[in-house]
Chains A and B, each alone.
Chain A
Amino acid sequence: MKEFGYQRALDVPGAVALLGADPEARCLGGGTNLVDLMKAGVERPGLLIDVRELPLDGIEFTEDGGLRIGATVTNSDLAAHPDVRRRYPALAQAVLAGASGQLRNMATVGGNLLQRTRCGYFTNLARPCNKRVPGSGCPAIEGEHHNHAILGASAHCVAVHPSDMAVALAAFDAVVHYETADGPGELPFAEFYLPVGDTPHQETALPAGALITGISLPPLPVAASSRYRKVRERASYAFAIGSVAAALDVRDGVVRDVRLALGAVASRPWRALAAERVLIGKPAGADAFAAAADAELAAAEALPHNGYKVTLMRNLIVAQLTELAEETAR
């Protein structure tokens, strides 16, 4: 590991000043991804700014009835919070589906958003990786890629975003709030993660030197009827091979409102807007659910070893919507 300086930030302006003064500085939250990548030699910051003691650990209602979640709230506190569990249950479920109890206690919301989209080649310094060394190539496309992207990938990178939490946030139209030396800013979730294109090393639209201060969720009645479902290669403590966050409102047998986002299929959490468009106003049932899944997955492009994901995601979307429809009909 490369040597680095360490500073504990006590307030937001102090953290932003430190961050702006050193392009090699990185924020340290729980360190569950950053420290791991530093050990591997993938991340090589010159300065760590410890942000855990910043006064950003609250979860509170916003004026419009939404929820504001501070950047240093731990995954555990987010998932245990009664209002999150009551009003956005898929978000609590998504967080609980990720990592282990130990890691959820350490990991922060801000850090979760900024964890790297990664695969085995990214963390293996002996192999090329366009994300780690731009222009060096992507061995995954010809190599080990059974858990790689089927949507929105490019010839430069096919890694998938590993966060479960972010899938639920994508479904619920979260907004990311940040602070810079020039003042505060915000990014809607749909714009926070960049398309992979030919710049896989640039993962987010967060401006240089910006500190994430929190996220906000809009008041979203449909979110109260939501679920997160994750498929993985063992029963617990593994990354998804596919996941779905869904919220559904059915009245008189007709889909009134729906939110759908997919995980482990793209370089970023994948909001399934094409599927949502198909569903609105349709009778809630197997035909509409299958048509919605097909509409979203029409753009899927499988590699030789991840074609199963297209079928998996189709089945997962249909099963998830069916379950929610039965639940809301009761």
Chain B
Amino acid sequence: MALSTSSAITLNINGEKHALPVDHRTTLLDALRERLDLTGTKKGCDQGQCGACTVLIDGRRAVSCLQLAVAAEGREITTIEGVADGETLHPVQQAFLDLDGYQCGYCTPGQICSALAVIEEHAAGWPSAASADVRPEAGIPPLTPEEIRERMSGNLCRCGAYVSIVQAVARAAAAHGAGSTPGIETQGVETRESETPGSEVGPAGTAGAEVTA
């Protein structure tokens, strides 16, 4: 078979285009770390089970270890290196820093990328497995610690910094709900029906009060 097993591709990462030839077996994770020197994204299990390699693809969180680089061509990729605004940390990063949402820090880039998306997904009205009632009439469930734990369950922390991680996500979500969080490339998260009763009560704010009180 004369099929080519490699391709010349261009990846759009943090707003910059990177042209590189790749063997089709190359994952996005390995392309980032080994080829483009973007080592902020971490390799944990390399099997989609730990979340350390979480990045945003077209605004949605994804594990880069199961994403083939060649299949990521043409999509907008945001890694932890693209989250801050210059020297100013993103509020999610700042919340992790202020509340000690880590110990060794290895899972932290993935946790932060995941948290960015969790906040957007919740704001868009996506229910979770922790939501008592998924019907749209039930409204957006408040972002309680239980909701945060469920929504963040794809990110493991072997140091066990979960208590602080949940607090950091809640604080950042509350700030986001108050309108003070700058947007990141999260245009991929949307629902087709945003009018839901209860969505005006500021669920994120409630959660923030519960967690940090």
Contact = CB atoms under 8 A, between A and B. Distances in A.
Given A85-B135, A92-B134, A31 B129 contact: no
A52 B57 CA distance: 13
A89 B135 contact: yes
A46 B66 contact: no
A39 interface: yes
A89 B135 CA distance: 7
Interface residues of B, number: 50
Given A6-B24, A31-B68, A76-B60, A101 B7 contact: no
Given A5-B4, A6-B7, A32-B66, A97 B129 contact: yes
A80 B129 contact: no
B66 A35 contact: yes
B129 A93 contact: yes
Interface in B56-105: 57, 60-63, 66-68, 70-71
A36 B3 contact: no
A96 interface: yes
Interface stretch (A102-110, A130-138, A201-209, A269-277): A102-110
B134 A96 contact: yes
B125 A80 contact: yes
B44 interface: no
Of B57, B60, B137, the most chain A CB neighbours within 10 A belong to: B60
A81 B136 CA distance: 9
Given A36-B66, A96-B134, A102-B61, A82 B193 contact: yes
Interface stretch (B10-18, B113-121, B173-181, B203-211): B113-121
B71 A80 contact: no
Interface string A1-42: 101111010000000000000000000101110011001000
A315 interface: no
A291 interface: no
A140 B127 CA distance: 37
A97 B127 CA distance: 11
Given A101-B121, A102-B61, A80 B5 contact: no
A36 B48 contact: yes
B51 A36 contact: no
Contact of A96 (B46, B62, B128, B135): B128
A80 B48 contact: no
Given A5-B3, A101-B117, A89 B66 contact: no
B23 interface: yes
Nearest to A93: B134
A101 B151 contact: yes
Contacts of A50: 71
Contacts of B4: 5
A237 B151 CA distance: 10
Contacts of A235: 149-150, 153
A208 to B, nearest CB: 18
Nearest to B193: A82
Interface string B126-140: 111101011111000
Interface residues of A, number: 41
A89 B138 CA distance: 12
B129 A236 contact: yes
A174 interface: no
B154 A99 contact: yes
Contacts of B193: 82
A68 to B, nearest CB: 15
A1 B25 CA distance: 7
Of B63, B114, B134, the most chain A CB neighbours within 10 A belong to: B134
B1 interface: yes
B25 A4 contact: yes
A115 to B, nearest CB: 12
Interface string A223-240: 000000010000111000
Given A32-B66, A35-B66, A48 B24 contact: yes
Nearest to B2: A5
A82 B24 contact: no
17 contacts: A4-B3, A4-B5, A6-B24, A6-B70, A32-B63, A36-B47, A48-B68, A82-B193, A93-B129, A99-B154, A100-B153, A101-B121, A101-B152, A102-B114, A103-B63, A103-B66, A230-B129
Given A46-B1, A101-B154, 9 more contacts: A3-B24, A52-B71, A96-B131, A100-B51, A101-B61, A101-B121, A102-B62, A102-B114, A230-B129
Interface of B: 1, 3-5, 7, 23-25, 27, 46-48, 51, 54, 57, 60-63, 66-68, 70-71, 114, 117-118, 121, 124-129, 131, 133-137, 149-155, 191-193
Interface of A: 1, 3-6, 8, 28, 30-32, 35-36, 39, 46-48, 50, 52, 76, 79-82, 85-86, 89, 92-93, 96-97, 99-103, 105-106, 230, 235-237
